[in-house]
Structure formats: C-alpha cells, structure tokens
Amino acid sequence: MRKKLFIGGEWVEASHVQDLYSPFDGQKIAEIPLATIQEVDAAIDTAKKNKKVMKKMPAHERADILDNVARLIAQNREECARIIATEAAKPIQTARGEVARTIMTYKFASEEARRLPTEVVNMDAAPGGENRTSYTRREPTGIVAAITPFNFPMNLVAHKLGPAIASGNPVVLKPASQTPLSAYFIADIFDKAGLPKGALNVVTGKGSTIGDALVTDERIGVITFTGSPEVGIGIRNKAGLKKVTLELGSNSAVIIDKDVDIDGMVERLVQGAFAFQGQVCISVQRIYVHESKKRELLKKMKETLKKWVIGDPLDDATQLSALISESEKNRVLSWIQEAVDQGARIVTGGEEEGMIIKPTVLENVDSSMKVSCGEVFGPVVIVDTFDDWQQAIDLVNDSDYGLQAGVYTNNMKHAFTASEELEVGGVMINDFPTFRVDHMPYGGVKQSGTGREGIKYAIEEMTEIKLVCFNHN
Ligand code: NAP
C-alpha cells in the first residue's frame, strides 16, 4: 500500500508520503511518495547518465522492449483496469477500454522505433551543392520530462513513454497526484520488459513544486505536458529553450445538419458527452443542431440517459461515476447554477448524488456562459441551434479552444466547408469529436495547445534533425 519512488531502476523510499483516497467513496487506497527537490534532482541525474545508453541502443532492442511492455500489460489487463477504476473512479468498462488502447499505443511505439524517419537531401538542387551525398538523422533530444493528467492515467502516460523510448530518450515521468498508481505499475512493467535501469524514472508529488523543478531544470531537453491550459501556459513561460509539447483542454463541439438521422447518432453523442463523467479533453460539450431537429434530439438524448447506470466504478454495469474531487464537483455544479440563473433550462440532470453529478443536458444557453465558453470537464452538455451552415461553423469557432470538432451531414459541400473552416486540430466528419485512435496526429490550436501526439508525430517533437553531408571531392 505504501508506494516508493522509481529512480535509477530502484524502488526508493521517499522521505515524505501522503494518503491517496478513492474519489468515489473516500476510502484510503494507498500512501504516495511526495518527492523532494533533491529526489527529483536524483531522478534527472540518473536519466542523464542514461542518455548515451539510450541513444546507442539499436532500434530493434528499443522495439523489443516496447513490444514486451505491450505484452505484459495485456497479461495484466484486468489488474490495470482495476487500478485505473480505483484511483480515477473511471467506470471499469471504460477503464478496460483505456487498457486496450494503451496496449495499442505501445505496439505503435514499437513499430515506430524500427522506422525513425530519415531523408536524402539532393544537395545539387542548389548551385554549389554538386558532388555531395546528404541525409538526415533523427537524434533523441532527451531528457524527456513527461507531465500527465488524471483522466487517462495509463494511455496518456503511454503517449509520452512510448515515443520517448522508441526514439531513444531517457524519461522522468511526473503523473497526476490523484492517479500515481497506474504510473508506478507501468514503471514496474518497463523494468520487467528490459528497459535499462535509470532510463525511466517516476516521481510523484505536488505539480507546483516538483513539476516546476522539472520544467526549469537545464538538463531537461523536452517537456511533454498534457493537462489544463493554465498550467500549460505557465510551463511554456518557464521552459526557456526546451522543446515543449502542450496537449491542453477544450470545449469540443459537434454540428448536426438537417438531413441526418438522429437515431443513428444519439447513443454515440451521449457516450461522447458523458463517458468518464465528461472528464475527457475531447468530450462533447457543445451540440449545434439544425433548428428542425432540436426537439427530436433532446427527446432521444433524455430517453437514452434514463437507461444510464450510475454508481460504483468497480461495478461492471456502471456507466457514470464520481467526479475526480469534491472541489471539481462543486465547480461543475456552480457552473450549472450560473447558467440556470442566467436563463438556461435543464433538460435532464443537474442534481448530485454523493460524489456524482447526474448527466446534465442544458438548452437556452448563451455563448458567454461558462458551460459554453469554458471547459466544463464534467457531465454537462449544451444543445443550441442554427439555421444556416455558416452560422454553425461560426458558433463552433467562437471559442478560445480548438482541439477537435464533429460534423454530421450528408451534404458534401457542407462537409468540405466544415473541414476547411473549423479552427481545430481534427475534424471528424460523420462522427463525434471524441473519436481518437492512437496513431493519428492529435493536438489542438488556440488554447488547446501546441504540437502533436500520435506516436510518429510525438517522435518528431522529441527528436532533433541532424544533417550529414559527404563531400565527394
Ligand atoms: P492539471 O491540473 O493541469 O494537471 C496536469 C499535470 O500537471 C498533473 O500532473 C499536475 O500535477 C501537473 N502540474 C500542476 N501544476 C503544475 C506546475 N505548476 N508545473 C508543472 N506541472 C504541474 O490537469 P488535470 O486536472 O490533471 O487534467 C485535466 C486537464 O487536462 C483538462 O483541461 C483536460 O482537457 C486536459 N487534457 C488534455 C488532453 C489532450 O490531449 N489535449 C488529454 C487529457 C486531458 P498535480 O496532479 O500534482 O497537480
């Protein structure tokens, strides 16, 4: 139950620990190390000693380690799902889905390790470049500092460790304080998978202290951060010349055209809005439906939600459970209340039950209300209407964020206009914005961040291009 830091491939007793509680029932589930600045320093130091080891490791060995990681997770998939469900209150079925994706992420990382991109550059395209052979190499930038959020404690860690190890970088990982158990479990798996000791280090503790120590340390070459815009912007401001990838929040929108069949999409929309209590960076938060379809959509969403099973995350039937913390629950409730006070109508939900907020659908919402323009990151979706396609696109773009958007239409012209004009990192035509598979380029614009994940793309962010030029003369 008492966890240790993972530094230099050893489990190190920390000088300070703090209790970790289940978000669902408040039961104590573990004691977690609170790393000191000295312990973070030791983790960076051991990662630094492994820079050469990792850089010189042949691609097939890096690929084999990542393959082993995928295999070991698959062998322990139920235990992984239970860890996620317990520490994050993620319904176990959803947690199993996350584990399946984590396995795929490491498999993609293993494949990418074998084919780091290289390019032959035709130097004689420029006068003076004759008689030269030139090519690029991708070299690890290292050390990678990986800072991860609570909502996908295994797969979002995989999106950082996978590409880092695939491209020969040592890593210091700092997972979210609420979800450290997944990270420590994965550290053990990397150890068993044959990763050199010290190439991966895991430190836990308060983001504002140890996160800061990582972000400002001169030995770190790359910061890969997934989390809230406030923290991300702070990191960018302190990072100096380090490479920084920021995968931040959003208030993702979906447009539903007048010609589409509501029955065919309503289950998926509800899933996109309420899976893991809406605590997903691409969860459906804003639905813009053609005026003629609004009543039908609301009625069917309400009917679907009546069947949703709410309760214990470890119960197989549960679809929606507790929010990650009391303060987050209170924040989301206050945003709902603010909207209602300003004229919004609750179609369904709005109430709390213990640590749970019932799935909430709102209409008559103004775009200035927090439930529309902020990132709710809770089980709340707003439904608004449009008459004209351009108006729908403008409504989606009227946001500080831009991660992904969904568009349901059978009109080709509308689909192409949306794909060109929506200000987001990814447009899903005839699907919800919540769609993601783990090798696709993924990331946002505006306050949703900079840089891309999806193993191949993350590798670009974690490596430097070196040019080699042979003079034949
Ligand atoms: P968060 O509060 O920003 O925390 C993310 C991580 O940053 C945690 O490990 C946190 O540590 C650490 N941290 C906090 N303060 C720090 C500082 N000053 N310096 C360095 N690190 C610091 O986010 P969260 O609540 O865990 O996650 C929710 C957010 O993540 C939402 O905005 C969501 O949209 C976003 N998200 C984005 C994506 C994407 O791919 N775009 C995916 C998932 C989630 P502590 O836990 O110790 O505070």
- Per-residue b/e over 400-417, b at no fewer than 16 CB within 10 Å? ebbbbbbbbbeeeebbeb
Question: For residue 91, which amino acid is it?
Answer: P
Of 298, 292, 288, 293, the closest CA to residue 418 belongs to 288
419 with 358, same domain?
yes
In a mutational test of the pocket of ligand 1, which residue from 281, 376, 401, 438 has the highest number of ligand atoms less than 8 Å from its CB?
Answer: 281
User: Is the CB of 228 within 6 Å of ligand 1?
Assistant: yes
Amino acid 1: pLDDT: 86
The CATH number of whichever domain residue 404 belongs to comes to 3.40.309.10
282 with 196, same domain?
no
User: Is the CB of 75 within 6 Å of ligand 1?
Assistant: no
Within-domain flag for 267: yes
Amino acid 446: pLDDT: 98
Within-domain flag for 221: yes
Record the tokens describing residue 396, joined without a space: 């989606």
Within-domain flag for 10: yes
Interacting residues of 330 by C-beta distance below 8 A, sequence separation 6+: none
H or E stretch covering 321: none
185 with 236, same domain?
yes
21 with 118, same domain?
yes
Model pTM score: 0.98
Residue 247 known to be catalytic: yes
In a mutational test of the pocket of ligand 1, which residue from 32, 40, 101, 151 has the highest number of ligand atoms less than 8 Å from its CB?
Answer: 151
In tens digits, the chain (473 residues) has pLDDT values of 899 999 999 999 999 999 999 999 999 999 999 999 999 999 999 999 999 999 999 999 999 999 999 999 999 999 999 999 999 999 999 999 999 999 999 999 999 999 999 999 999 999 999 999 999 999 999 899 999 999 999 999 999 999 999 999 999 999 999 999 999 999 999 999 999 999 999 999 999 999 999 999 999 999 999 999 999 999 999 999 999 999 999 999 999 999 999 999 999 999 999 999 999 999 999 999 999 999 999 999 999 999 999 999 999 999 999 999 999 999 999 999 999 999 999 999 999 999 999 999 999 999 999 999 999 999 999 999 999 999 999 999 999 999 999 999 999 999 999 999 999 999 999 999 999 999 999 999 999 999 999 999 999 999 999 999 999 98
357 with 237, same domain?
no
Residue 121: which domain range?
5-248+448-471
19 with 63, same domain?
yes
Residue 469 known to be catalytic: no
| 175 Cα to the center of ligand 1, angstroms | 9
Within-domain flag for 310: yes
237 with 320, same domain?
no
User: Is the CB of 72 within 6 Å of ligand 1?
Assistant: no
137 with 227, same domain?
yes
190 with 335, same domain?
no
229 with 305, same domain?
no
Question: How many structural domains is the chain composed of?
Answer: 2
Distance, CA of 378 to CA of 412 (rounded, Å): 33
User: Is the CB of 174 within 6 Å of ligand 1?
Assistant: yes
Amino acid 451: pLDDT: 97
**3-state secondary structure (DSSP) of residue 469:** strand
Would you state the torsion angle of the CA atoms of residues 224, 226, 230, 232, taken in this order, to the nearest 10 degrees?
10
User: Is the CB of 207 within 6 Å of ligand 1?
Assistant: yes
User: Is the CB of 147 within 6 Å of ligand 1?
Assistant: yes
Q: Are strands 132-140 and 445-446 parallel, antiparallel or unpaired?
A: unpaired
242 with 287, same domain?
no
Within-domain flag for 443: no
56 Ramachandran zone, left/alpha/beta (phi>0; psi -120 to 50): alpha
146 with 124, same domain?
yes
**Can you tell me which atom of ligand 1 is nearest the CA of 147?**
9
